[in-house]
Amino acid sequence: MAGPDGGDGRDAEADADPDLVDELLDGKHRALARAITKIENRSPGYRGLVSSLHAHTGGADVIGITGSPGAGKSTLVDKLAKAYRDAGLTVGVIAVDPSSPYSGGAVLGDRIRMASNVGDMDVFFRSMSARGQLGGLSTATSDAVKALDAFGKDKIIVETVGAGQNEVDVVRTADTVTVLVQPGSGDDVQMLKAGILEIGDVFVVNKADMDGTPRTVAELEEMIHLRDNPGARLDSGHHGSDAFGGDEALDDGDGNEDGASDETETWHPVVVETVATTGDGVDELVETLDSHAAFLDRTGARAELERTRYAEEIRQLLRSDANALVEEELRRRGGAEAFAERVADRETDPYAVAEDVLRPIRDCVEARRDDA
């Protein structure tokens, strides 16, 4: 029985292109672009490629940027990338765009989004299709992050399309999740209550030169306050540079916001104001992101996040591959429509069909289990 990728079930490494892997690890941008194209298109051998790169990952800090359309995500990502380059860091950017209903490709992929970093070879930008997952990260995007990580990028920024609650997908890839909201967007703030509030590590009120900024900041802080610790002190008027040294965001677990590093240390989301078009507030945002990265390393939370991500990735791959096997077996039996006809004629029932189709797969699994 062929595998989900059309292969014959061989070890994933067998289909890897060793020359492509070596060139990517040697820092050749053309090889990186080819590898991500192979990954996005799910071309034969892409699994072997990702498997070969896995041992070389783990060095990048991955930042997820999400939020509603129009919040200014692309402009802010541009300014963030420039700030990191000014600090001497290399940057990879993956922008997950809505999928074209015709080609499956990124319909916004041709737009110019990195104006401040044009010609800088140490900023690698790629627009990718969400492949029908309007909330964000397809498996292909996660694999592309691994390619950038193995390549040696210091910072990887993943910008997702804005589609409400589905943005929680970004958690599967990002170490730090940054949620953008624009001033006066009461509906956007209310939307956060539907689920995205729980995933944000940093909240950014972009376009902070617009009317309604103080109210939006206050609403966000109140929501964070109620989420984390209803009894804690809420200082709604403090958004200055003092908030970015770590004391405002960190808690020792006993309500003492002294930044103490111990096993009970937790991170409380910070609200930052920016004007991405002018760069105002970007330095403060970078400091906040750095503070969260330091927190992850200091407390061991980064390793815990990584284990959680890999566990979810394994489950997702198993579900996808198992579904492909079932679909193939169903087609071999004449397809769902043929079974549906028999069910409609009361010759059988859906449970019996499911048992019948799954039996050879189950028998194979049980036989291998017994051999082990």
When mean pLDDT is compared across 93-107, 156-170, 258-272, 318-332, the lowest value belongs to 93-107
Together in a domain, 172 and 114: yes
Q: How many other β-carbons are positioned within 10 Å of the β-carbon of residue 45?
A: 17
Structural domain count, the chain: 2
Q: Do 36 and 141 meet the contact criterion of CB atoms below 8 Å apart?
A: no
Q: What is the mean pLDDT of residues 36-56?
A: 94
| Angle, helix 139-151 to helix 29-41, in steps of 10 degrees | 160
Together in a domain, 166 and 206: yes
Write down the pLDDT at residue 230: 59
Together in a domain, 336 and 192: no
Chain centre distance of CA 355:
36
Q: Do 147 and 179 meet the contact criterion of CB atoms below 8 Å apart?
A: no
The residue out of 266, 300, 334 marking a domain boundary is 300
Residue 21 lies in a domain: no
Together in a domain, 179 and 205: yes
- Tell how strand 155-159 and strand 123-129 pair up: unpaired
The residue out of 269, 300, 331 marking a domain boundary is 300
Q: How many other β-carbons are positioned within 10 Å of the β-carbon of residue 3?
A: 15
CATH number at residue 255: 3.40.50.300
The residue out of 300, 332, 352 marking a domain boundary is 300
Q: Do 166 and 121 meet the contact criterion of CB atoms below 8 Å apart?
A: no
Distances (CA, A) of 311 to 97, 248, 308, 325: 26, 32, 5, 21
How sure is the predictor about 174, in pLDDT bands with cuts at 50, 70 and 90?
very high
The string of DSSP letters for 156-176 reads EEEE----GGGGGGGGGT-SE
Write down the pLDDT at residue 125: 93
Model confidence pLDDT, tens digit, residues 259-318 = 444 557 899 999 999 999 999 999 999 999 999 999 999 999 999 999 998 998 899 899
Together in a domain, 102 and 226: yes
Together in a domain, 273 and 337: no
When mean pLDDT is compared across 9-13, 28-32, 255-259, the lowest value belongs to 9-13
Q: DSSP letter for 94, please.
A: E
How sure is the predictor about 222, in pLDDT bands with cuts at 50, 70 and 90?
confident
Q: What is the mean pLDDT of residues 94-112?
A: 54
Together in a domain, 149 and 282: yes
- Residue 243's domain comprises 56-300
Two tokens, residue 25: 């690890």
Summary mean pLDDT of the chain: 81
Q: What is the mean pLDDT of residues 117-124?
A: 78
Together in a domain, 323 and 293: no
Residue 41 lies in a domain: no
Together in a domain, 159 and 127: yes
Write down the pLDDT at residue 208: 93
Residue 26 lies in a domain: no
Together in a domain, 280 and 352: no
Write down the pLDDT at residue 242: 39
Residue 143 lies in a domain: yes
- More confident call, 14 vs 186: 186
Q: What is the mean pLDDT of residues 360-369?
A: 90
Q: Do 85 and 124 meet the contact criterion of CB atoms below 8 Å apart?
A: no
Residue 128 lies in a domain: yes
Write down the pLDDT at residue 89: 97
When mean pLDDT is compared across 85-89, 191-195, 340-344, the lowest value belongs to 191-195
Together in a domain, 74 and 221: yes
Together in a domain, 329 and 273: no
Helix (H) or strand (E) holding 301: helix 301-332
Residue 336 lies in a domain: yes
Residue 39 lies in a domain: no
Write down the pLDDT at residue 13: 46
Instruction: Give the torsion through C-alpha atoms of 135, 199, 92, 290, to 10 deg.
Output: 160
CA gyration radius, the chain: 23
Q: Which of 14-23, 175-184, 263-272, 290-299 has the highest mean pLDDT?
A: 290-299
For residue 165, pLDDT beyond 70? no
